[in-house]
Amino acid sequence: MSAAPRETHFGERKVRLDEKQRLVDEVFHKVADRYDLMNDLMSFGLHRVWKDILVAKLRPPRNRPFAHLDVAGGTGDVAFRVAEAGGELTEVTALDVNGEMLRVGRERAQRRRDGGHVSFIEGNAESLPLPDDAFDGYTIAFGIRNVPDIGKALAEAFRVLKRGGRFLCLEFSRADTPVLDRLYDAYSFAAIPAIGKVVTGDGRPYRYLVESIRQFPPPDLFEEMIADCGFARASFTRLSGGIVAIHSGWKL
Ligand SMILES: C[S@@+](CC[C@H](N)C(=O)[O-])C[C@H]1O[C@@H](n2cnc3c(N)ncnc32)[C@H](O)[C@@H]1O
């Protein structure tokens, strides 16, 4: 008897694991050109602060070479911050499965002074086209909840990091208090798809983004998943009343 296909969530829908990536790709294909503007509108610019805090935790050194990988790097928002914080000796690879998001990222790189320190490559977080033990740092921001098999992505993160390398993940989480949680829910489900419809002409991709936040494991469970993949000192920090969390682990 053949085993039942593994299932996961695509927003509130249950889908086969091998179906999810195509659906996710369609979402980001549609939103790529308005992605950065929408991020500012949806989060009132807060995503910039969260990304700054992520990079401050990474603290790329300015006095020695630092090889960094930003997975699900999209339009390069985190990659550019790491390049700027690290300076001349930092080289950043931004990897994403979606060619459209990468195209926007490459266009941005051309307009930046430090753009030469960021390279954009197409690839899947679940099977990175990169060698073992190659990177000092790995970040993934608002990306991992879109990946069909999160365990595979974590195992790949562990594989490509050098000993002493750090894994950092910025992801939506659960608000700390029931009141904030209800307010956040109301805003997310009512306002975000509506803003998406006005700005991009289609609210559905944004409904998926909101629903997918709800399906992502709570931070303590995700912390266990990170530790189970071999990362040492797995921990997380809640930001903005728990709306997002930064998860950390070390390959020691
Ligand atoms: C919400 S965006 C985040 C982009 C960027 N990290 C940021 O914070 O602005 C999610 C990104 O994950 C990418 N993605 C989805 N599944 C992926 C996978 N399996 N491997 C790599 N990237 C993936 C999407 O193409 C999209 O660019």
| Tens digits of residue pLDDT in 226-243 | 999 999 999 999 999 999
* Residue-level pLDDT at 89: 96
Pocket residue to mutate for ligand 1, from 146, 156, 170, most atoms within 8 A of Cβ: 146
| Tens digits of residue pLDDT in 128-141 | 999 999 999 999 99
Q: How far does residue 2's CA lie from ligand 1's centre (Å)?
A: 32
% of the chain exceeding 70 in pLDDT: 98
Three-class SS state of 239: strand
Residues in CB range of 197: below 8 A, 6 or more apart? 203, 206
Residue 214 pLDDT level (bands cut at 50, 70, 90): confident
Ligand 1 neighbours, Cβ below 6 Å, are 21, 24, 28, 71-74, 77-78, 96-98, 101, 124-126, 141-143, 146-147
Say whether pLDDT at 178 is over 80.
yes
Say whether pLDDT at 23 is over 60.
yes
Nearest to 115, CA basis, from 141, 81, 156: 81
| Tens digits of residue pLDDT in 80-134 | 999 999 999 999 999 999 999 999 999 999 998 887 899 999 999 999 999 999 9
Q: Whose CA is nearest to atom 8 of ligand 1?
A: 141
Residue 4 pLDDT level (bands cut at 50, 70, 90): low
Q: How far does residue 204's CA lie from ligand 1's centre (Å)?
A: 17
Q: How far does residue 217's CA lie from ligand 1's centre (Å)?
A: 17
Which amino acid makes up residue 2? S
Say whether pLDDT at 245 is over 50.
yes
What is the rounded distance in angstroms from the CA atom of residue 199 to the CA atom of residue 33?
A: 11
- What integer is the mean pLDDT of 27-47? 88
Backbone angles phi, psi at 166, to 5 degrees: -115, 135
* pTM for the predicted model, two decimal places: 0.93
Q: How far does residue 73's CA lie from ligand 1's centre (Å)?
A: 6
Contact (Cβ atoms closer than 8 angstroms) between residue 49 and residue 39: no
What is the rounded distance in angstroms from the CA atom of residue 184 to the CA atom of residue 173?
A: 11
* Residue-level pLDDT at 1: 45
Q: How far does residue 101's CA lie from ligand 1's centre (Å)?
A: 8
